[in-house]
A and B are shown apart, each in its own frame.
Chain A
Amino acid sequence: RKEVEQDPGPFNVPEGATVAFNCTYSNSASQSFFWYRQDCRKEPKLLMSVYSSGNEDGRFTAQLNRASQYISLLIRDSKLSDSATYLCVVEEGGSQGNLIFGKGTKLSVKP
């Protein structure tokens, strides 16, 4: 079983749509969770950390379900500039910050 699994997409949505990405992870000892955004041929950039209580940053909402080992990212009112690959990232349990990345979900927002 892969450690972090995501639907690779692509998700093709119109501007203004709401889109949700899901991710599951296998290591129950993991303590830190993140969503990163990666544009084509660029480095990953931190989008947001994910907290047990759920957290929101503008149009982006992240949620964590530890019991189900499930993480989600919701993007509301999507913009053309949201087009990118979204990487679900989990800190390796028992490590010193080593991150385990999913393969990413590709989002394409169309006018």
Chain B
Amino acid sequence: DTGVSQNPRHKITKRGQNVTFRCDPISEHNRLYWYRQTLGQGPEFLTYFQNEAQLEKSRLLSDRFSAERPKGSFSTLEIQRTEQGDSAMYLCASSPRNEQFFGPGTRLTVL
């Protein structure tokens, strides 16, 4: 499968714990995006990388969130000191230009 992959697919954690998600984009895509989606809402933009450079961050991305794309290939999204409000689907998308292709997402549940 040459699409966008994300791991893990599901994560259950206790409030206050740190979690890290991984995204592997389509190999020739230099743009990578993270979104968050909650029930009944469309995805909301979190952050954007072009190659290894993080070029934009949403106001939604609090200090507890950090994202990296160290070699311009895979990316990680870390959430520190998780809160119940962080429970959501975290989606990664990659893009060669305008059209974005999404991975299956990581569903986070914070107890």
| Same complex origin of A and B | yes
The interface on chain B, measured as residues whose beta carbon lies within 8 A of the other chain's beta carbons, has a size of: 25
Number of A-B residue pairs with CB-CB distance less than 8 Å in the complex they form:
55
B48 with A98: CB separation less than 8 A: yes
A57 CB within 8 Å of chain B: no
The contact size tier of chain A is: 20 to 34
A110 CB within 8 Å of chain B: no
Chain B interfacial positions (CB closer than 8 Å to A): 31, 33, 35, 40-45, 48, 50, 55-56, 58, 91, 95, 97-105
A97 with B42: CB separation less than 8 A: no
Please provide the 8 A-B residue pairs with the shortest distance between their CB atoms, ordered closest to farther.
A101-B42, A43-B102, A98-B45, A32-B98, A101-B43, A103-B42, A44-B102, A43-B104
**Contact mask for chain A residues 71-104; partner B; CB cutoff 8 A; 1 contact, 0 none:** 0000000000000000101011001111111111
Most buried by A among B50, B58, B99: B99
A96 with B42: CB separation less than 8 A: no
Query: In whole angstroms, how far apart are the Cα atoms of A97 and B97 in the complex?
Result: 8
B91 with A43: CB separation less than 8 A: yes
Partner of A96, one of B44, B55, B58: B55
B42 with A98: CB separation less than 8 A: no
Shortest Cβ gap from B23 to chain A (Å):
12
A45 CB within 8 Å of chain B: yes
